[in-house]
Amino acid sequence: MSEKSLEVSGLAYAYPDGNQALYGVNLSINQGERVALLGPNGAGKTTLVLHLNGIIPTMQGQVRVAGKLVDSKNAESIKSVRHKVGVVFQDPDDQLFMPTVGQDVAFGPYNSGLRGIELEKAVTEALELVGMSEFIDRPPHHLSFGQRRRVAVATVLAMKPEILVMDEPSSNLDPAARRELAEIITSLDVTLLMVTHDLPFAYELCQRAVILSAGVVAADDEISSVLANKQLLNAHRLELPKGFNL
């Protein structure tokens, strides 16, 4: 098939206190694919995500983004990988740290060297994609939670990432905001890795599902067959909501 956006091989990691989080993770994602990363709490999902853009230095194993190795000792490589992997964190208040929405969206592209008109263009385009253009001069704390989440997505889209990584995108959203976000994600033309517990949300948006459990990949298949396998889900503390049928 097409090119690989992300390739993780044999990734293992232990926290400085000796707590091992990842025991050899293998994962590869093709360009344009939408993949759900499922798994119980404490499975190492967030640790994996932080490896993808070099926040946590790789101890053992390899991470390749668009064919390029993430070399945590090389500042240049780290810098370029952070512009290719866009991470949307769980709490939008962590993500939105600038005084206004517009300044916040400009933060990423500014760091990659855009200035003036180009910078403005990147900001307006990204805000348009998430339907938040009219909020450009508002401070983030005046927005609703759903709106903040959308702006958080825009801050990352403004960097035109190779792959978009979202940590629990549907958490704390009301049903309408959740649907709006799903519509936005569907309309985007990016490779997506979505960390979530919200199985129906994942089913709606992703073709493929990966279950990460106890630091290893326990399943990696089409999402319909992963979610249909009740035994597999139960073994990893996952379940579909009651009354939900594929």
Partner 1 sequence: MAALLFILVAVATPITNIAAYIAYFSLIWLALITAKIPPLTVIKRSLIEIPFVAFALLMPFFGQGERVDFLGLSLYQEGINAGAGIIAKATLGVLSAILLSATTTAREILRGLEILRLPSTLVQIATFMLRYLNVVTDEMERMSVARASRGFDAKGIRHWRVLANSAGALFIRSYERGERVHLAMLSRGYGGELPKEEREEVLPQQIALGLALPLLALTSLLISILI
Positions in the binding site for partner 1 (CB under 8 A): 50, 53, 55, 79, 82-83, 85-87, 89, 91, 93-100, 103, 106-108, 110-112, 116, 139-141, 155-156, 159
DSSP 161: -
For the bound state, the minimum distance from the C-beta of residue 96 to partner 1, rounded and expressed in Å, comes to: 8
The contacts of residue 157 (CB under 8 Å, 6+ apart) are 86, 126, 129, 130, 164, 188, 190
- Nearest residue (CB) to partner 1, 10 versus 99: 99
- Nearest residue (CB) to partner 1, 111 versus 172: 111
For the bound state, the minimum distance from the C-beta of residue 93 to partner 1, rounded and expressed in Å, comes to: 5
For the bound state, the minimum distance from the C-beta of residue 208 to partner 1, rounded and expressed in Å, comes to: 24
The 8 Å CB, 24+ separation contacts for 101-106 are: 101/127, 101/132, 101/135, 101/136, 101/137, 101/138, 101/139, 101/140, 101/143, 101/151, 102/127, 102/136, 102/137, 104/140, 104/151, 104/155, 105/136, 105/151, 105/154, 105/155, 105/158, 106/158
- Nearest residue (CB) to partner 1, 132 versus 219: 132
- Nearest residue (CB) to partner 1, 106 versus 209: 106
- Nearest residue (CB) to partner 1, 158 versus 223: 158
- Sheet with 68-69: list strands edge to edge: 20-30, 4-14, 60-65, 68-69
Q: What is the Rg, in whole angstroms, of the alpha carbon atoms belonging to the chain?
A: 18
For the bound state, the minimum distance from the C-beta of residue 6 to partner 1, rounded and expressed in Å, comes to: 15
For the bound state, the minimum distance from the C-beta of residue 108 to partner 1, rounded and expressed in Å, comes to: 4
- Nearest residue (CB) to partner 1, 159 versus 227: 159
The contacts of residue 174 (CB under 8 Å, 6+ apart) are 146
Q: Is 196 in contact with 202 (CB distance < 8 Å)?
A: yes
For the bound state, the minimum distance from the C-beta of residue 154 to partner 1, rounded and expressed in Å, comes to: 12
- Nearest residue (CB) to partner 1, 51 versus 208: 51
For the bound state, the minimum distance from the C-beta of residue 169 to partner 1, rounded and expressed in Å, comes to: 15
DSSP tally for the chain: helices H, then strands E: 10, 10
